[in-house]
Each structure stands twice: as structure tokens, then as C-alpha cells.
Amino acid sequence: MNLYGNEWLYDLVHEKPPDSEHVSFYERMIERFGEPVLELACGTGNYLVTFREKKMDVAGLDISPQMLDAAEKRSDDKDLESKLIEADMRNFNLGEKFRLIFIAGNSFQHLNDVTDVQATLSSVKKHMEADSRFIVEVFNPSVNLLSRDPEERFFVGEFRTDEGWVVIHENVLYDAATQINHIRWHYKNQYDKEERTVEFFMRQYFPQELDYLFQSNGFSIEEKYGDFDESNFSRKSKRQILVTKLEN
């Protein structure tokens, strides 16, 4: 079963509170670069709804109807207009320009190959002005984590729900030929003896490769941060956060 058909499990692990460093970073970027804003791969609307509550003009696009349904419900619960679009970020045309476009939560890593990246960047460029910005956030690949024994399970976390605690473990299989990490989450409710498994895949983008993909597709890299505090990217950084604009 795919993780993105289980929006409650996705939120259990990934949901960020309004005062988190993740949300605060993107809020600063919106204030810095302006509106309107487009979030690609918006998922269940965590960022979208947080910003729309603050009267920011943010729209969200996602390919998954299940995720968009959850985002719609999240918006309805707050009595907000959702501004949601069901589309593939590799091929969309909204007939509108945005001051800021961003992909949060490492969702860029669901682009499995260079062709997917090129298609996405081409679609993004159609929606940018000369002074617009496009921000992408991905992991900085860890050789140690990627080389873990695929038969061994590792603890992800323990999360409280209305039905009790849910414990998640994972095992991973990294394919060095495709640079895709195959991840399986095994989870169990404390009151339920049946274990369930979901899987998802994340393409790893190494630092020089990521920079080249943007630079060779018409973008210039204005900033490259290593974390949400806007510190410079370095060999010790866990993240790669690119702030890019259209090449002159």
C-alpha cells in the first residue's frame, strides 16, 4: 500500500505546527518575496491552511485526490477557501504567474529521474515572472543512512492518536543505479496486533547534481541553505534548500 493513500499516517509523521521552524521559514520567504504563492505537492494542506489563516494568498497543487480531499477538509474545518488544484507538477498550466513557488517537505524527491525534473522545471518557469522565486527543499543524502542493511528495521517514532499509540519502524533499500531509496514503514496500534505496511520512494539528489539540474534548466541559484535557520549549506548540512530565480 502506498503512503499517500493513507493521509492520516502521513500527517501523523509530517504535520508541522504553525510555530515550527519549517513553517516559519516559508512564512519568511512569503513575506520577503511576496504573493500570490503556489505550493506544489501541497499534500494535506498543512502549510497551505496555516498561511491562508494568516490571510496570505496561497494556492496548492497536488496529484493525489486523497491528499486534496484531506486538504479540503482541513480548510473547511477552519472555514477557509481552499484554492486547491489537482494536477501533476510535471505538467501543469494555470494561466497565472506567482511571486513565489515552493515545494516543501522533500516532495521534490518524488521526481524519480532527470526527465521528471526537467518537465517540472519547465512547468514552473511558465508561472514565474522575472523577479519571482522558486524554492526547493530536499535531504542532503547520507551515505551512512543509505547503506543500512535492508533487512534490518529502524525505529521511526511513536505517535499518539485517538486510538492509542502508533509505533512505526522502517526498512530501506537504496538502489545506487537509480539513486532511489525504497522505504517501507511498518506500523501497529498498541491495541491492534495486526501490523500494516506502506511504502514510498525517494530519489536522492546529491549537492552538485542538484545545483547542475537547476542551472542547466534556466535557473540561477540565489541562495543555498543547509537548514531552516538560513545557515549556509555545508558538508554537515542535513538539508539542501535552494532559493532560485529565472536566469537572466
Instruction: Enter the C-alpha cell of residue 155.
Output: 525505529
Cell numbers found for residue 153: 528495521
**One domain for residues 27 and 147:** no
Q: Give the integer Cα–Cα distance in Å for 230 and 180.
A: 27
Sign of the dihedral through C-alpha 76, 64, 55, 22: positive
Cα–Cα nearest to 179, from 156, 213, 155, 154: 213
C-alpha distance across the termini of the chain, in Å: 44
pLDDT of 20 reads 95
Residues 94, 214 within the same domain:
yes
Backbone angles phi, psi at 230, to 5 degrees: 65, 25
Does 148 lie in the same domain as 129? Answer: no
Beta strands (DSSP E) in the chain are 37-40, 58-62, 84-86, 98-103, 128-139, 154-161, 164-175, 180-189, 196-203, 219-225, 239-246
**pLDDT for position 210:** 98
Tell whether 105 and 221 lie within a shared domain: yes
The pLDDT, as a whole number, for residue 78 is: 93
Burial annotation 73-102 (CB, 10 A radius, 16+ → b, else e): ebbeeeeeebbbeebebbebeeeeebbbbb
Q: What is the pLDDT of residue 161?
A: 85
Which pLDDT does position 6 carry in this prediction?
81
Number of independent structural domains in the chain: 2
Report yes or no: 3 and 198 within 8 Å, Cβ to Cβ.
yes
Q: Are residues 8 and 72 in the same domain?
A: yes
What pLDDT shows up at residue 193?
A: 74
CATH number for the domain spanning 33: value is 3.40.50.150
In this structure, the answer to whether residues 132 and 238 fall within a common structural domain is yes
Contacts of 106 (CB under 8 A, 6+ apart): 137, 138, 139, 202
Angle in degrees, 0-180, between the axes of helices 46-53 and 21-33, rounded to the nearest 10: 60
C-alpha cell of residue 201: 520512494
Q: Do 234 and 129 reside in the same domain of the chain?
A: yes
d(CA 156, CA 160): 14
166 and 198 assigned to the same domain: yes
Which positions of the chain have pLDDT values less than 50? none
Burial 191-217 (b: 16+ CB within 10 A, else e): eeeeeeebeebbbbbebeebbebbeeb
What are φ and ψ of residue 186, in 5° steps? Answer: -110, 120
Q: Are 49 and 71 in contact (CB under 8 A)?
A: yes
**Per-residue confidence (pLDDT) for residue 24, from 0 to 100:** 98
Q: What are phi and psi of 185, to 5 degrees?
A: -100, 130
Distance CA 45, CA 215 (A): 30
Q: Is residue 186 located within the same domain as residue 115?
A: no
pLDDT confidence of residue 231: 98
